[in-house]
Amino acid sequence: MQHDPHLAECLYDRTAIDALMDQQATRLNARYAQSRPLVLCVMTGALVYAGHLLPRLNFSLDLDYVHASRYGDARTGGQLEWMARPRHAVMDREVLLLDDILDEGVTLHEIAQWLKAAGARSTEIAVLTHKQKSVPQACAPDYPALKTPDRYVYGFGLDVDGLWRNANGIFVAAPT
């Protein structure tokens, strides 16, 4: 798919994203002021979001990542495939998961289940955007920044057909 920032339907430009991420960071700074959570970036989509969120956080933290995917370059999800587990031990840790989008919630639910089984003391979820669905989702974010309608979106780390993670805003993908 081609991306033209002047023609694509933009849901959030950078000004809007920055303002909503500031609010999200305020909530996270209050929550984690007294702890040192293990922050896990869910690769690949969360890369841009995490890169912009982390400098807004003013508490002590350990940073690591997990790599798991169930969409690949497609627009519908399948089985979650794990490519990398965290290198840090999670036993007895407070874990904060960072991801770009919570859609059906399967990805974050399965990662949270794995963390629980691995002994994490708590797991909370912060996402750049939470997709609004008419059907139940497998889990809910504790800290959403944006809300998006039930349409395939891209930009700011989210891909469309494997491309345009670098688009500077959140856009609606044109139908295939």
Ligand X SMILES: O=P(O)(O)OC[C@H]1O[C@H](OP(=O)(O)OP(=O)(O)O)[C@H](O)[C@@H]1O
Ligand Y SMILES: Nc1nc2[nH]cnc2c(=O)[nH]1
Chain contacts with ligand X (rule: CB under 6 A): 42, 44-45, 69-71, 77, 99-107, 159
Cα–Cα distance measured from residue 153 to residue 113, given in angstroms and rounded to the nearest whole number: 26
Q: Considering the complex, what minimum distance in angstroms separates the CB of residue 158 from ligand Y?
A: 3
What does 164 interact with, of ligand X, ligand Y, none (CB < 5 to 8 A by kind)?
none
- Closer of 37 and 148 to ligand X (Cβ): 148
Query: Which chain residues interact with ligand Y by CB under 6 A?
Result: 71, 101, 103, 152-154, 158-159
- Closer of 94 and 100 to ligand Y (Cβ): 100
Q: Considering the complex, what minimum distance in angstroms separates the CB of residue 108 from ligand Y?
A: 11
What does 106 interact with, of ligand Y, ligand X, none (CB < 5 to 8 A by kind)?
ligand X
- Closer of 59 and 71 to ligand Y (Cβ): 71
- Closer of 59 and 71 to ligand X (Cβ): 71
DSSP track, the chain: ----TTTSEEEE-HHHHHHHHHHHHHHHHHHTTT---EEEEEETTTHHHHHHHGGG--S--EEEEEEEES-TTSSS--S-EEEE--SS--TT-EEEEEEEEESSSHHHHHHHHHHHHTT-SEEEEEEEEEE--SS--S---SEEEEEE-SS-EEBTTB-BTTB-TT-SSEEEPPP-
What does 105 interact with, of ligand X, ligand Y, none (CB < 5 to 8 A by kind)?
ligand X
What does 154 interact with, of ligand X, ligand Y, none (CB < 5 to 8 A by kind)?
ligand Y
